[in-house]
Each structure stands twice: as structure tokens, then as C-alpha cells.
Chain A
Amino acid sequence: MHIALLHLRVRVEERLLFEALESLGAAVEMIDLRSVVFDPATLGDWSRFDAVLDRSLSLTSSLNATRILEGLGLRCVNPSHTADVCGDKLRTTIALEQAGIPTPAVRVALDPESALRAVEQIGYPAVLKPIVGSWGRMVARVNDRDAAEAIIEHRDQLGSAQQHVYYVQEHINKPGRDIRVFVVGGRAIAAIVRTSAHWVTNTARGARASGLPVSDDIASLCTRSAAAVDADVCAIDLLECPRRGLLVNEVNHSMEFRNSIDTTGVNIPLHIAEHVLTIAREQHAAREPVQPVVRTAQGAIA
């Protein structure tokens, strides 16, 4: 099988995926998206690939590259649709709600004055998030009306139109930890629990992680969540609500995993590589020329 691995930078994750794919006998080409000129009308050289593994660090590059390649008939892991949904917190919320998956309560406002009402509806403390962005950047907890007004005014004065979408989420009083589950091919393969003194539990912000056995509840919730966003591969962040139980907070379509391999004892890149190859083989088989069928007159076969 011939796999294109799209990237902007080759981090530890991309190198591990490259090695895992090669270890399974795939021919892997690392494609630096900075070096490509795409022709959306012509498959051209891309025809040599059976599947594309998108590991671009930039959401914009990911979306544009996978849209073009899908337009040319290539199967991308993850599909552009998944990056579209997961790259936007509001779209993720909508997809999860449609699938009946429990999530923290959310209010959305498109104007600073309505934003303050949105915060008051959620109640304090509330969490204000940009709808696009990750690694916990620009996420703010507001504890009172003064803080809410200050943050909303600040957002209002920022240039980006995206910042003028006010996504306000209920603050879940979690027991100082949250859960991240790795889902590959619809199956929850590993989970870690991250504990932090800081309320944004994010290993990029210094949270500590340890392995967590995947319970049946976690597995089925995560399988459904991955299906809700059509993800082949994703990491799902869960919060433990004292009232409502497990809630899906975020779905990450291009997750980091270097620190979770030893922690969980699960070879995450190998699982991803196996799944990519399964998809590639399906694509390859579908493209094989169809064998001529010898037609038999009806009733000729006893």
C-alpha cells in the first residue's frame, strides 16, 4: 500500500507514524504541505496513493489539502469533514447534540451584549472559549460579572471575526482531573487521566498524566462520539460531572500522543497505522479493474 503522510513539521508523532506504517510494509511518502502546488482538477501524481494520512499541524492547511485531495477521489484520514467539525467548537457541540451525546451546557452569542446574557444564563463560573483554537489557548474562566464584561470587551476589540462568536460553556466542577480517550477505527484503544492544579487540564500546560483502564461506559460513549464527527482517529476529552456523569468536552482530530504511549502501554501509532492500512486496502480493492463477468442465461444455473 502507498500512503501519503501530510505534514507541516515532522514532530515525534509523525515520525512514529511513519515508522509504524513502514513496519507494516507500507510505502510511505512524507509530504510537506509547504512544498506542494495543488491542481484541484487533476489527480496526476497523487494517483499513486491508496490513502492519505493528514497530520498537518495547521487546521487551515489540513482543511484545504484534504478538501482538494478528496475532490480528486482520495480517501483522507481523517476526512476533511471531521477536521471541519472538530476544528470548530460550535460545530462539534452541534454534532454531539445531534447524536444525543452528553456535553456541558453551552450558550452562543454573536454580539457583546448578548454575550453577557449568555454568561449569566450559564451562571458563574462560566468558561468562555474561542470556537477555533486548541492547546487551551484563549480559554477563560469568568467568576463574576466584572470579569465577564472585561473579557467580552477584550474579545470585541480583537480584529478576528471568529473572536466575535461568544461560546460560553458551563464550568464543570471536576475532581481536579479529566480524561482523554484515544479512539481508532471506532474503538477506544487507550485512555489517560490528567490531573492539574490549574483548572485547564492540558498536558501542553503542564498537567500530569497517568494511564486509565477503558471502562465499558467510556468505550461506548467514545465510540458514539467518534461516529458523530466521522473520525477515523481522534482523542476525546471527557469531564466527570458530579451531577450528570461523563460529558464529552472536546474531540481532537489530529491528536498528539507521544507522551501517552508509555503511560498507557498501548502502541497508539501502530493502531493508527493498522487502521490507515485497512482503509488503504479497501480503497485499493475498489480501484482494481473489475473482472469481466461471464453472463449466464437466466435459469442456466441449476
Chain B
Amino acid sequence: MSLRDDPDVLEAFDADVPGEPQVDVSRLRERLREVAPAIVLFFAALALWELTVIAFGIQEFLLPRPTVIVGTLVDNWTEISKAAFATFEEAVGGFVVGAAAGALVALATARWTGFRTGVLPIAIALNSAPIIALAPIMNQWFGLTNPVSKMAVVAIIVFFPVMINTARGLTEVDPAELELLDSYAASPSEIMRNVRIPSSLPFVFAALKVGTVLSVIGAIVAEYFGGPRDVLGVYITQQASLLHIAEAWAAIVVATVLGVAMYTIVLVAERLIMPWHASFRDQRV
């Protein structure tokens, strides 16, 4: 019997039909159609902002126009980009340390049940604590101008969601998959590698995505409590106090771009590491 005669196989071939020859063009067009509303809305909102400021004669130190903010950004690019780079380093450094520590502790909780039952409730409680309030203490510990004081805040903020989610992902495993591995007399470390870790990845990436946003917020707010001159948080507070509102806005725009950039990096990593995941299936691997 040839494969083509097999009803199952035909079904699978049929499922592939939507993506036939002109795949790439049509897929690109589809992507464009998906993002088009967001782009249109974004520029419409900017135009509305611009026009409102002009129409009501709102003064620049209250709310500068988008075009003014962009102009200010270009004029102060050297200073702002330097600050942005320093803040990005803090956010990324803290993110990497916090995420790695969270994942490692979660691995330990999956391995030792006693550890899990002891640690998880505490972690969940601490996760809802306002960790940013630790910023002044970290400044004391590591020094106001030392980037490590900001990284520490970011690391702690990122640690808890990553740890809690990873621990859940490692333990909420399909019992049938565990039974299969047991039937092969697989060792705990083989079960960890072949079942627990791969099943936890969707949970881990969900936490990492939240973590990217939190780490930029964490770094900048920590800088509001004081830091070296050339970081975004300090730049924003100083410019605002001098009533250089357009400069402050320009820095806020750059901070937003940092958050989006980190989020995008994690998103790309997610697609590379788990191309099999259900959330990417409509796009076909």
C-alpha cells in the first residue's frame, strides 16, 4: 500500500494545503494585515496628541508635542543614548542574574519535594511584596553610583516570577509522559531532561516576558532613588526638575524602546528554542 492511499496521510497533506506555493508572499501580506491596525492607531494617536496641544495652546512645559519630543531626542542624542546604554546594562544584568537564579532554585524545588513545600509558599508571598522599596537599601549596600545596586533590585524583581513559574512548569507534567519514562526505567535526571524541563519552557518564557518589562521599570525606578549622572532615571528626574519637560519625555520614549527591545529578544529566543509550541502553530514551522 502506498502512502498516498493512506487516508491518514491524505488528511495530513490536506492540512498543509493553505500554505502551498506562494507561501511566503501571502504569509507576509497576512502579517502586514495583522499589524496594520496597530500601526495606524499609533500614528493616529500621535497626530491627535500633536493637534490637541496646538488647538488648546497647551504650554510646552506641561505637555510637549510629539514632533518637539523627537527633535529634542535628536538634539540630545549623545547624552540620552549614553544614559540609555547604562540603564540597559543594569536592566539586562539584573534580568540575567535574577532569571538564572530563579530557574536554578526552581530546578532544586522540582528535585527535592521537601524544599518545594518549604520554599514555594514563601516565594509566592514575597512575590507580592513591593520589591522596588528595597532600592534605597541596595543603594546603601552597594553604593549609590555602583550599577550593582540597581542590578540587585532588578534581579530580585525578576527572580520571583521566574522561580514560581518554572517550579510550576517542572511539576505540572502530563502523568502519562511520566509513566512512559518510568516504563523505560528512566532515572530522575533523564526524566528531568526529557520531560520536566521541556514541559516547563512555556511557563518559563511567560515569566521571562513579564520579567523584561519589570526589569526596565525596576532599573529606572531604582535610579529615581539616586545614582550616577548618566542613567535614564537620574536624567529624567533632573530634566523634569529643571522644567526641561521635552528632554524628560525624550528619555521616557527611549526607556520604552528598551523595554520593547528586551521583550522582543525573549520572544525571538522563545521561537528559536520551542518552535514546536502550540502558540506558533498557525505560522507553521
Q: Do these two chains really belong together in a complex?
A: no
A: residues with CB less than 8 A from B are none
